Structure 1
Amino acid sequence: MKKIAVLTSGGDSPGMNAAVRAVVRKGIFHEMDVYGVYQGYAGLMEGNMKKLELGSVGDIIHRGGTILYTARSEEFKTDEGQNKALTHLRNNGIEGLVVIGGDGSYRGAGKLTEKGFPCIGLPGTIDNDIPGTDFTIGFDTALNTVVSAIDKIRDTATSHDRTFIIEVMGRHAGDIALWSGLAGGAETILIPERKHDLSDVMVRLKKGIERGKKHSIIVLAEGVGSADELASKLKDQFSLETRISVLGHIQRGGTPTGLDRVLASRLGARAVELLFDGKGGRAVGMQNQKIIDHDIIEILKHKDQVVEGLYTLSQQLSI
């Protein structure tokens, strides 16, 4: 292939810019023309793209968000929308497309693949919920952002002898809550993948009180419910007063960590190598520190799982 394009789609994540940079510079290294598509699949349907040069991606590796911008598009989910996108790709002579995003972005790349257009998916999401890779681009940065917040909130919880509920992102995946809760020493972690009983939560809190502990941290993934709802239930059922903190979109922003920058660079470079060799329909990831790739349509049939043992470990260490 001599002409490829790259886009970012869905929710932004720290490290997307590093991935874009890697795609562009690796492509130019192989004497390919690389086009940036703006506003994700919505922009692709409008033909909103331009050729990127080395300088186009200069000074972006340390920036959060995405210089290509991103958007969600219901129209692209239709055959008509996908065909509009393909028309613009082919009219511009684009031979392959790198898609950086989460589950929905992968599904879009899968649809184009099924229609015969070579696409490569890169896992760009803070949720760490893409099968076929141990970590996604942006997860480590989001994790460190949440851990920093937990540390700060614990100072206040300790000063006032209070129980705090910290709500983090994760509608269907609890990786942010689980990893940050374990790293932050949370007494209780509630994630969508594990059932919970409020009575068990209270048992754990009371054990802490009995040994002289005067404060507690509960980390709650938004997919389990809201912090407001949990606080109300704890007050109504157990007369437990809590304070809540909803971290929200602060988790998506910020300077990407070194790990996210290196991961994004490695994955972006591999995506270009695959297209350069004429291969499409692949999802690139990292497993056991090795860069690998899977069939993008097949990988979507699997469900990502939380790391076995981490949840149990978090309970054992927070007794």
Structure 2
Amino acid sequence: MKRIGVLTSGGDSPGMNAAIRAVVRKGIFHGLEVAGIYQGYQGLIEGKIETLEARDVGDIIQRGGTKLYSARCEAFKTEEGQLKAIEQMKKHGLEGLVVIGGDGSYQGAMALTKHGFPCVGVPGTIDNDIPGTDYTIGFDTALNTVIEAIDKIRDTATSHERTFIIEVMGRDAGDLALWAGLSGGAETILIPEDDFDLDEIIDRLEKGRKRGKRHSIIIVAEGVMNGNALADLITSKADIETRVSVLGHVQRGGSPTARDRVLGSLFGAHAVEVLLQNIGGRAVGMKNHQVVDYDMTKAFTTKHETDMSLYTLSKELSI
């Protein structure tokens, strides 16, 4: 293998640039040419491909987002779209591809692998919801962004003696809500992995009031319920004044933490090592603090498991 490509797909996450940098420089170190594909699979279909030198990925490790940009691409989900992408790969001499993204991005990578073009996946998503790896690139940065917001909102909640509902990202996975809620001292955490009991939430708030607690923080993952809808439910059932903060896309941005920079570097470099063996259909991850690679299909054929012991602990500590 003499020439490989790298692209980012799906939602951006802090640390993707560290992974891009690692792929390019690790590849060059081993004598490969490395091409960047701009705007994900859409750019691959359209041939937005250019060779990257070591200097082209200088001064990006500290930047959030992705130097290569990202785009959703419905066309790539079709056989016709995939064949167009393969034409471009042949035209530009690409023999392998590193795909940085989530499970949807991995499905595209697997499709190319089945067509004879080896692809390796690198997990980049703030949701931390990729099966097969303990952590994904961007999760730690997003988590710290949420914690910073919780700390600031708690100051206001204390001053005005109110209950604040903070809605965070997490459509199908509650890791971000759970870790942020536990580390931010939230009184209640709602995640997609467990049904919630409105009466229990209200009872917890009222017991806190009786103990002299004059403010509370509720963290809700977007996959459970809209924050404003939850506020309406609480207000309709109890005389508790609430305020809602929806953090939205601020969670995706910002300079990556040291952890995400290291993860991006480790994952990107390992992906190149796998491609150098002319192996495709693999995903890179971390298990028990060791960088590993595994069958990529695991990422979209098995279910992500949230550590429910943390969820139990959060309830025990928020009495």
Which TM-score band applies after superposition, normalised by the shorter structure?
over 0.9
Q: How does 1:122-137 map to 2 (within 5 A)?
A: 122-137=122-137
Letter aligned with residue 186 of structure 1? A
Counterpart of 2:258?
Answer: 258
Counterpart of 1:162?
Answer: 162
Shift of residue 239 of structure 1?
Answer: 2.8
Structure 1 CA distance for aligned equivalents of residues 62 and 22 of structure 2: 13
Counterpart of 1:224?
Answer: 224
Asked if 1 retains the 8 angstrom alpha-carbon contact of 2:131 and 2:298, the reply is: no
Q: Deviations over 1:129-156 (max 9, x none)?
A: 0000000000000000000000000000
Counterpart of 2:52?
Answer: 52
Structure 2 CA distance for aligned equivalents of residues 102 and 315 of structure 1: 30
Q: Does 1:211 align with 2:211?
A: yes
For structure 1, the 5+ residue unaligned runs are none
Counterpart of 2:199?
Answer: 199
Structure 2 CA distance for aligned equivalents of residues 126 and 108 of structure 1: 20
Shift of residue 169 of structure 1?
Answer: 0.4
Asked if 1 retains the 8 angstrom alpha-carbon contact of 2:188 and 2:315, the reply is: yes
Structure 1 CA distance for aligned equivalents of residues 70 and 32 of structure 2: 24
Q: Give the count of matched residue pairs.
A: 319
Shift of residue 82 of structure 1?
Answer: 0.7
Counterpart of 2:274?
Answer: 274
Structure 2 CA distance for aligned equivalents of residues 131 and 90 of structure 1: 31
SS at match of 1:309: helix
Structure 2 CA distance for aligned equivalents of residues 82 and 298 of structure 1: 21
Counterpart of 2:73?
Answer: 73
SS at match of 2:135: coil
Q: Deviations over 1:26-46 (max 9, x none)?
A: 000001000000000000000
Structure 2 CA distance for aligned equivalents of residues 287 and 90 of structure 1: 35
TM-score (ref. length: structure 2): 0.99
Counterpart of 2:283?
Answer: 283
Letter aligned with residue 99 of structure 2? V
TM-score (ref. length: structure 1): 0.99
Structure 2 CA distance for aligned equivalents of residues 99 and 45 of structure 1: 14
Q: Does 1:242 align with 2:231?
A: no
Shift of residue 117 of structure 1?
Answer: 1.4
Q: Does 1:151 align with 2:151?
A: yes
Shift of residue 298 of structure 1?
Answer: 3.5
SS at match of 1:189: strand
Counterpart of 2:13?
Answer: 13
SS at match of 1:232: helix
| Bigger shift: residues 165-174 or 111-120 | 111-120
Letter aligned with residue 64 of structure 1? G
Shift of residue 300 of structure 1?
Answer: 2.1
Structure 2 CA distance for aligned equivalents of residues 205 and 113 of structure 1: 52
Quick one: structure 1 residues 147 and 294, their matched pair in 2 at CA, closer, same or farther if it must change by over 3 Å?
A: same
Counterpart of 1:102?
Answer: 102
Q: How does 1:27-46 map to 2 (within 5 A)?
A: 27-46=27-46
Structure 1 CA distance for aligned equivalents of residues 69 and 147 of structure 2: 27
Structure 1 CA distance for aligned equivalents of residues 300 and 243 of structure 2: 39
Asked if 1 retains the 8 angstrom alpha-carbon contact of 2:284 and 2:294, the reply is: yes
Counterpart of 2:184?
Answer: 184
Structure 1 CA distance for aligned equivalents of residues 269 and 291 of structure 2: 10
Letter aligned with residue 152 of structure 1? K
Q: Deviations over 1:152-180 (max 9, x none)?
A: 00000000000000000011111110000
Shift of residue 228 of structure 1?
Answer: 0.8
Q: Please give the root-mean-square deviation of Cα atoms over the aligned residues, in Å.
A: 0.7
SS at match of 1:88: helix
SS at match of 1:228: helix
Letter aligned with residue 3 of structure 2? K
Structure 2 CA distance for aligned equivalents of residues 103 and 281 of structure 1: 13
Shift of residue 109 of structure 1?
Answer: 0.7
